[in-house]
Amino acid sequence: MQHAQLCEEWAEVRREIRRVHLDNAREQRYDSIRQRLSDLGWGEEIAFHAPQLRQHKLVRQPKPLTDRIWFNIKEPLVKFLQEHKDNRLEIDRQSIIRERWFLASQEYNKYIEGLDPNSVFPSRLDIIGSEPFRSIIEGKSTQIEENVPSELFASAIGRIPELAAIWREEKDEELVQIMKAAQSDADHHDLNLATTLFAWDIQDFYSPPISYPRILMHSHATEHHWNHFDCDTKSETGLHCTLWNERKLVSFDETASARMRDILVVCGLDPDVTTKAELEEMEPFVECVTCAHPSKGKLIFRVPSAVVHCSVAHKKEIPTWRMLTSEEERKIRQLEHTRFNSMIENSKAFNLTTGSLMYCCNRCHRLQRSYSRSWRAHMKSAHVSRRDAILVLLGASCFYVFSIFTDSAAQSPSIIINTANSEGPEHHTITETVTATTTRISTATVHVSPVPTRAVDLGLVDDLPETSIIAHAAGWTLFRNLYMSRGTLLLLTTDESKFPPHRLMTSTGLPGNLTNDAQRIPTAQEMDFITPVEARRRWGGNIAKGERNRVLTVEGTTLLYNDPPQFLNHSDLWDLGLSLRAFSDGKEAKPSSAAADASFTLPLLSTTTPTIDRAIFIHSDAEGWRDGPGFNGYFMRAVFPSITIEVESDWMDRVNATRHTQTERAFHFPLALLTDRSAAFRDPICGWFTQRTAANAWMAMAKEGKIDLVGNWWASMRAAVIRYAGGDPQEDLSPTLKMPETIVITYINRQGTRRHLKEEDNRQLVQAIEELVARKNQEGGRQWEFHDVQAERLTLDEQIQMAAKTHIMLGVHGNGLTHLVMMKPTLVSAVVEMFLPEGYARDYEWTSRSLGMTHYSIWNDTVYTYPNEPPNPDYPEGFHGPNIPVQASVVANVIEEHVAAREKGDTGVERSPVYDQQ
């Protein structure tokens, strides 16, 4: 027995010697190749791509480099570096262009701060997306740091009045054409009539009547909203907005216009000539006779709100109206004034039981709650001028929305007054009720006994627990016992060598671009080591005398998000979720081997969601982490319903609590996941191969065999979101993928957005897939379904439900394909992504394959799939345009052949990204 053990030890030593020998040989070969390439002038470029060069199949060989070998490999290696250089320069250019979009937006915002807040001005994209701004933004210069924004855009800023006048003329004409669809004799003079009202054609969304010129300023015309499925129009700008009415949702509201005519006649006005300005000056009150009730009182409105009342309360009937007498109007104005002043004085006590005061921002025309923290947060995040804050308060006094429900029972005539002179979706009422009928909104408190947990108290311990790392990949570090004092994350340890370089864990948190890499490298201010002795000196108490340590534990699991808002609002919480699930599944798994499990014998199935007690967005305010469509908030609440969100101001509270004190103190995080995008991009897996921060965490766990390769590791997160959306969260978590009973194909139709197929190609594509599905159903056997989704008309719930039942998702490259993460793994699960020929992005290719799906890239009539995807990301002219071609028959054949191959037993496991860099 002893002899066998000695033999095994000898063999292990020999294997180790052999491994070291091979590693040394590879290193010598790499050094020789690097030197020869440097002699050819590639030394500077190698510094950018050293990890990729080291892993090249011609470099990573344990063979000496001879002149003959060098002659054979020189040309492909030079070509390899040239391709990487070209791609790096293009990425640099795209980054500079995105930065210039942002700078141009800032300059335009500064310009409109000096305008009359009641004036009509174009949205950001309508101005900076036109010439001469676009030429400056997309120019060939790459040295953006040489020009401060005021110099870069000075000439273009001077042309804004001219551009705005042209824009106003074009949009007026567009509105006239919209009116002519309902009134053939409409002209520009009709725009100013009180009867000219517009609406938004958005399914399942109430659109109140909107007059001119407010329709030109309405946020629905230019900004993305939560119920828009695919909101990456102008994604290259990062501005989260569109051109005015780019989605063609504005329509003439014939019903509201007819109701307005009725009311104007009651007021003794001629609806054919009365303008909106004349109506506002007269400001008459009218009573809805139809709604009058002996015991409930009367409903009284200003005219614009009366029209809103018609569209809400009288959809199927024409109500009767009465104009108030002068004496009635005087009493109502007095009552309105008294009640409104009372509400302002007591606004701090406002809640849902007594009503909710709102204001309209005169700068961006958004409605906001009355609470001071709401409008202050809005001004901080949306407008930088203190002058604008004053304008908000002025706007609040003339445009407000409030509802009051009282339970008083005084015996006097009841009057219900709607006094809001607005066209917003909310109805604006003051209610003075004098009957025994009461209306009350109540809340109930539910006491839940939590599962007992052991609280962590370091106040009286002799030795503070040292920091350790549970799991790490570049940009994603799961710590046990992390400390923070004076804004610095501190690693308490006696052995600094146990930790990866700080630059792979964190950064300074500055916005990322290719000109400030050095500024984003972390310093000792961001992260540092501290010894137990130093920690006791700084934070320790005299335990023997009962003096506690000055270390406060932040109990539970904390997510520390060290990114600026630059990318937080790009639905990056999907990446967070992917990484979090990968880490939580892998951190305690004990696979039998270090290799990824290429069979479908899963080392760990995901059946419960990880627990996150709080998320701290260190560099973002309350709005910065939310994305335009609303998916970040939706996802966060669906998966972590009990999570607490802290933002930059909350983090500074913690920092200041440890900084401005006579005696030092620290916060202790028992379990903390630190995520940092800049750190993630320092690993080639994210920074070069995928551009997905989640890829680092996924690859680390997958290569160790700690998560499966078919997407079951993501099941609990997926099920939580689907359940939240009202869908069916049930799925088969068996170790082998199975064929579904019905093949469900979903086409994310983008024809209503900027980047889409040619109209004729889109029509032929839908027809080809419909014919394929019909033919398959006639052949018998497995059933097929096809859904052509007008995605922007779906609610978030409907979007998730749709994705959850999809097996094959296809669409033009865009954010709509993000929903592939909600597709349940099956043997046929696939994503078919259509690009402009020669254009390519890896976003959804990697995500698809990491979840066990097959990904196909379509260039018109050419199909690519792993391992033969297009070599590098590219964004040629027209990539984001409306003329992307596709051969419908090619797409239909791809789907049919894909399903046929899976039915024959092709599992596709070898397509997992875990094999990409092997």
309: confidence class by pLDDT, cuts 50, 70, 90:
confident
State the amino acid at position 66 in one-letter form.
Answer: T
pLDDT tens by residue, 53-73: 888 888 888 889 898 999 998
Q: What is the 3-state secondary structure (H, E, C) of 74-92?
A: HHHHHHHHHHHHHHHHHHH
Average pLDDT over residues 672-678: 90
Residue 655 CB partners (closer than 8 Å, separation 6+): 484, 486, 487
- For 121, 472, 884, the CA distances from 589, given in Å and listed in that order, are 58, 14, 46
The pTM for the full model equals 0.52
636: confidence class by pLDDT, cuts 50, 70, 90:
confident
Percent of the chain with pLDDT over 70: 75
Choice among 117-126, 441-450, 608-617, 720-729 with the minimum mean pLDDT? 441-450
Residue 850: per-residue pLDDT: 86
DSSP state of 611: P
Tokens of 724: 């939240």
Check whether 221 has a pLDDT greater than 70: no
- For 466, 518, 658, the CA distances from 661, given in Å and listed in that order, are 24, 32, 6
364: confidence class by pLDDT, cuts 50, 70, 90:
low
Q: Are strands 476-485 and 488-492 parallel, antiparallel or unpaired?
A: antiparallel
- For residue 246, how many other CB atoms are within 10 A of its CB? 17
pLDDT tens by residue, 805-861: 999 999 999 888 888 989 998 999 999 999 999 999 888 888 898 888 999 999 999
Q: How far apart are CA 557 and CA 626, in angstroms?
A: 21
Check whether 347 has a pLDDT greater than 70: no
Closest CA to 203 of 180, 228, 183: 228
Q: What is the 3-state secondary structure (H, E, C) of 767-795?
A: HHHHHHHHHHHHHCCCEEEEEEECHHHCC
Tokens of 216: 């030109």
Average pLDDT over residues 269-278: 90
Closest CA to 563 of 554, 551, 576: 576
Closest CA to 560 of 617, 498, 510: 617
Degrees, nearest 5: CA angle 54-58-64:
90
